[in-house]
């Protein structure tokens, strides 16, 4: 079994010089050099021997080795071929690791199908339904990764990630605040979220221009199962916040243009006791879920 390596600036700069590579900013390559925080990320993920772990952004493999030592299987994805080779050497002693060298995202709304199939295969191999995301996510793809994992047919039990502090604050935001958004509602409708730790730029190399955070997201199966049509809710929620400062009546009329006439929209709003002059940003998650269901049922009635 390989020993865990402490990832220091001197080690990274020396190793990168030796193999002739540099961190690539477009891939969000900022490496965590504070091993206490890296260990906190691993502990927060609560990795067990019956877990299949997905890591997106393998980097140097320093986090990967620690997770592989605890997991049933680690599927780790790295877009950069040079970094994948580097990490592959670090992970060579682990038989329970699958390293994939490609972009995890097919586009901003969908994962690469081969990655999802690999996760399913590994879950079948170790006979488990326990799947988790744990990663120091590249900041430029953190939002689609977190959001889209809740739209796949392999729901993670949890997502423990290092992301930009501003994004973490948006995810945990409360109604009526500037950070409250469609993303806040989408994730909180199905999950319990905890901001574990704020991290200054200096704990990474190269140092990013922003603060970061470790965010723990626990999926709540009962809340998720209570949403009748997840994809419908996802689209309704996005439409609601597209013009977050507009009055609710105007937003809903625009959303259902060509599907419901203005009188029908008003009727559904009256049925739900919705204030036409309210704004999306002031509704709670449960209120938005209830609003969505009223309109979904009305649309279903029209189609029957």
Question: In whole numbers, what is the pLDDT of the chain averaged over residues?
Answer: 95
> Is residue 217 situated within a structural domain?
yes
**Residue 301 is assigned to a ligand binding site:** no
Number of structural domains in the chain: 2
Pair (138, 220) in one structural domain? yes
> Under 8 Å CB-to-CB from 18, ≥6 apart: which residues?
none
Do 217 and 260 belong together in one domain?
no
Which residue among 171, 193, 224 closes a domain? 224
| End-of-domain residue from the set 171, 203, 224 | 224
Q: How confident is the model at residue 3 (pLDDT cuts 50, 70, 90)?
A: low
Distance, CA of 148 to CA of 220 (rounded, Å): 16
Q: How far, in Å, are 61, 63, 120, 214, 242 from residue 161 at the CA level? A: 15, 12, 21, 6, 26
Surface-to-core class of residue 187, CB atoms within 10 Å of its CB (0-12 exposed, 13-18 middle, 19+ buried): buried
- Pick from 217, 219, 49: nearest CA to 135: 217
CATH code, 291: 1.10.8.100
Quote the CA–CA distance of 115 and 14 in Å, as a whole number.
Answer: 32
103 assigned binding-site residue: yes
Given this model, what pLDDT does residue 1 score? 41
Q: What local confidence, expressed as pLDDT, does residue 40 receive?
A: 98
198 with 256, same domain? no
Last residue of a domain, one of 224, 242, 277: 224
Q: Taking the model in full, what pTM does it have?
A: 0.94
Give me the mean pLDDT over the 229-258 stretch: 95
Residue 47 lies in a domain: yes
The pLDDT of residue 2 is above 80: no
Residue 278 lies in a domain: yes
Question: In this structure, is residue 3 part of a structural domain?
Answer: no
Domain that holds residue 96: 9-224
235 plus 155 within the same structural domain: no
Shared domain for 151 and 259, answered yes or no, is no
Which tens digit of pLDDT belongs to each residue from 133-155?
999 999 999 999 999 999 999 99
Read off the tokens for 57: 């952004």
At 180-200, the pLDDT tens digits run 999 999 999 999 999 999 999
32 is in an annotated binding site: yes
In a domain, 2, yes or no: no
Using a 10 angstrom Cβ sphere, with 0-12 exposed, 13-18 middle and 19 or more buried, the burial of residue 211 is: middle
Outline where 126-258 has alpha helix (H): 142-149, 165-171, 182-188, 221-225, 230-242, 248-255
57 carries a ligand binding annotation: yes
242 and 180 in one domain?
no
Rounded average pLDDT over 220-226? 97
275 is in an annotated binding site: no
Instruction: Tell me if 275 is assigned to some domain.
Output: yes
Within this chain, do residues 147 and 257 fall inside the same structural domain, yes or no?
no
195 and 296 belong to one structural domain: no
The rounded distance, in Å, linking the Cα atoms of 282 and 299 is: 25
Q: Residue 8's pLDDT band (boundaries 50, 70, 90)?
A: confident
204-205 and 212-219 strand pairing: unpaired
Q: At 53, give phi and psi (nearest 5°).
A: -105, 135
Q: Is there a cis peptide before residue 206, judged by omega within 30 degrees of 0?
A: yes
């Amino acid at each position: 079994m390989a020993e865990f390596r402490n990832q220091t600036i001197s080690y990274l700069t020396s190793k990168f010089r030796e193999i002739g590579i540099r961190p690539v900013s477009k891939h969000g390559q900022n490496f965590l050099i504070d091993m206490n925080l890296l260990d906190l990320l691993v502990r927060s993920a609560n990795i067990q021997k019956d877990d299949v772990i997905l890591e997106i952004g393998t980097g140097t493999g320093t986090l990967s080795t620690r997770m592989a030592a605890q997991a049933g299987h680690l599927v780790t994805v790295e877009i950069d071929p040079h970094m994948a080779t580097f990490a592959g050497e670090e992970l060579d002693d682990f038989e329970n690791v699958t390293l994939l060298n490609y972009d995890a995202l097919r586009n901003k709304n969908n994962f690469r199908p081969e990655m999802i199939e690999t996760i399913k295969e590994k879950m079948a191999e170790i006979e488990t339904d326990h799947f988790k995301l744990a990663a120091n996510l590249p900041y430029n793809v953190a939002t689609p990764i977190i959001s889209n994992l809740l739209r796949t047919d392999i729901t993670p039990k949890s997502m423990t990630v290092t992301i930009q502090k501003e994004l973490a604050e948006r995810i945990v935001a409360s109604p009526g605040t500037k950070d409250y958004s469609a993303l806040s509602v989408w994730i909180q409708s199905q999950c319990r979220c905890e901001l574990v730790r704020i991290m200054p730029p200096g704990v990474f190399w190269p140092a990013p221009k922003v603060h970061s955070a470790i965010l723990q997201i626990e999926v709540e199966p009962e809340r998720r199962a209570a949403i009748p049509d997840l994809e419908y809710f996802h689209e309704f929620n996005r439409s609601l916040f597209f013009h977050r400062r507009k009055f609710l009546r105007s937003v809903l009329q625009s959303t259902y243009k060509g599907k419901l006439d203005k009188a029908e929209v008003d009727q559904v709003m009256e049925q739900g006791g919705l204030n036409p002059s309210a704004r999306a940003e002031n509704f709670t998650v449960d209120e938005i879920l209830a609003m969505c269901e009223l309109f979904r049922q009305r649309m279903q009635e029209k189609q029957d």
